[in-house]
């Protein structure tokens, strides 16, 4: 079976991430969205909630070959443990240097695991989790940037303030 892992901090999961997942699900037998704990970034959404929300997004779209998992280890170690040898990452116009370095580190740790890249679709090129966070800080609308369950989560959080 042809499996790929799509790792990220997804804080929050955007329509840019979702587009990659949908495209990968049309190519691979199985896509695992791997929610990572990034020690260098403070998470806006609690870790378990983030997983729950991404699962809701996938369930609403009936993406049957897509699953959500998490790890607090290196992604390559997760892959070795779970017999996956493909890591998917996304490329927007400014991502190359960061993604290249990450890919090389992963390759040096385990050359049997290949990192593959999909470009962001042009209409999503500007979308980033950090951009969404910035808009949220100033109470701006994000419903065109994140899937419905994620938007709803922030609306409810806002109401409870």
With contacts defined by CB under 6 A, name the span among 3-11, 43-51, 61-69, 152-160 that binds ligand ADP. Answer: 3-11
Q: What residues are paired with 86 via a beta bridge?
A: 114
Residue from the set 38, 43, 85, 110 that interacts with ligand ADP by CB under 6 A: 38
Nearest distance from C-beta of residue 146 to ligand ADP, angstroms: 11
Give, as ranges, the residues between 91 and 120 that touch ligand ADP (CB under 6 A).
92, 95, 99, 120
**Which of the 8 DSSP states describes residue 117?**
E
Pick from 4, 56, 63: which is nearest to 33 by CA? 4
Give, as ranges, the residues between 121 and 160 that touch ligand ADP (CB under 6 A).
124, 127-129
Residue position matching structure tokens 């997942």: 21
Nearest distance from C-beta of residue 59 to ligand ADP, angstroms: 20
φ/ψ of residue 77, rounded to 5: -70, -40
Count of residues that bind ligand ADP according to CB under 6 A: 20
CA pair distance 38, 71, nearest whole angstrom: 10
Nearest distance from C-beta of residue 24 to ligand ADP, angstroms: 11
- Contact call for residue 9 and ligand ADP (CB under 6 A): yes
Summary count for the chain: helices (H), strands (E)? 6, 5
CA pair distance 130, 159, nearest whole angstrom: 22
Which residues in this chain contact ligand ADP in the complex, by CB under 6 A? 7-10, 14, 16-17, 20, 36, 38, 89-90, 92, 95, 99, 120, 124, 127-129
């Amino acid at each position: 079976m042809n499996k790929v892992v799509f790792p990220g901090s997804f804080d929050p999961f955007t329509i840019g991430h979702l587009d990659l997942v949908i495209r990968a699900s049309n190519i691979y037998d199985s896509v695992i969205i791997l929610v990572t704990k990034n020690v260098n970034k403070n998470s806006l959404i609690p870790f378990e909630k983030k997983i729950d929300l991404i699962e809701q997004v996938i369930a609403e779209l009936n993406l049957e070959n897509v699953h959500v998992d998490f790890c607090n280890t290196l992604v390559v170690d997760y892959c070795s443990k779970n017999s996956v040898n493909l890591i998917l990452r996304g490329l927007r116009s400014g991502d190359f240097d960061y993604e290249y370095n990450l890919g090389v580190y992963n390759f040096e740790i385990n050359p049997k695991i290949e990192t593959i890249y999909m470009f962001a679709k042009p209409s999503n090129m500007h979308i980033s989790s950090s951009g969404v966070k910035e808009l949220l800080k100033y109470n701006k609308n994000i419903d065109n940037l994140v899937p419905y369950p994620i938007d709803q989560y922030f609306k409810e959080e806002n109401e409870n303030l």
